[in-house]
Amino acid sequence: MAKLIWLFAGAALAASIAVAQESPGQLVQRALALHQSGDPEKAIPLYREFLRLQPQEAQIRSNLGAALASTGRYDEAITEYRQALKSLPGDPSIRLNLSLSLYKSGQISEAAKELEPVHSAQPNNRQVTDLLADCWLRQGQNAKVIGLLGTALLEEKNLDRGQQIIDRILRNGDSAEGRFLMATAKLNAMDFNGAIADLQKAAELNPNLPDVYYFLGVAHKEVGDQAAARKDFEKEIAQNPNDFGSNLNLALMLKEDNDFEGAKRLLGRALRVRPGDPGALYQVAAIDLATGKIEEARIELEGILKNSPQFIEAHISLATVYYRLKRKEDGDREKALVQQLNAEKEAKEAQEKNKGR
pLDDT (tens digit per residue) in 225-261: 999 999 999 999 998 888 889 999 999 999 999 999 9
Instruction: Determine the straight-line distance between the first and last CA of the chain, rounded to whole angstroms.
Output: 74
Q: Which CATH architecture has domain 52-138?
A: Alpha Horseshoe (1.25)
Q: Give the residue with greater pLDDT, 300 vs 127.
A: 300
pLDDT of residue 179: 81
Note whether 140-240 and 247-349 share their fold: yes
| Mean pLDDT score of the chain | 85
Q: Which CATH class is domain 247-349?
A: mainly alpha
297: left (phi over 0), alpha (psi -120 to 50) or beta: alpha
Give the model confidence (pLDDT) of 128-162 as tens digits: 887 887 788 667 676 677 667 655 554 555 555 55
3-state secondary structure 19-42: HHHCCHHHHHHHHHHHHHCCCHHH
The residues, any chain, with a CB within 8 Å of residue 355's CB and separated by 6 or more, are none
Q: What is the pTM of this model?
A: 0.57
Query: Which parts of 88-175 fold into alpha helices (H)?
Result: 92-104, 108-121, 126-138, 142-155, 159-169
Contacts of 246 (CB under 8 A, 6+ apart): 213, 214, 217, 232, 233, 234, 236, 237, 240
Would you list the DSSP string of 202-257? Answer: HHHH-TT-TTHHHHHHHHHHHTT-HHHHHHHHHHHHHH-TT-HHHHHHHHHHHHHT
Closest among 213, 255, 219, 217 to 236, alpha carbons compared: 213
- Cβ atoms 85, 94 nearer than 8 A: yes
Give the mean model confidence (pLDDT) for residues 110-129. 88
Report domain extents, the chain.
Answer: 52-138, 140-240, 247-349
Average pLDDT over residues 255-283: 93
Sign of the dihedral through C-alpha 107, 110, 114, 120 = positive
Q: What are phi and psi of 257, to 5 degrees?
A: -85, 5
In this structure, are residues 273 and 260 in contact, taking their beta carbons and an 8 Å threshold? Answer: no
CATH superfamily of 140-240: Tetratricopeptide repeat domain (1.25.40.10)
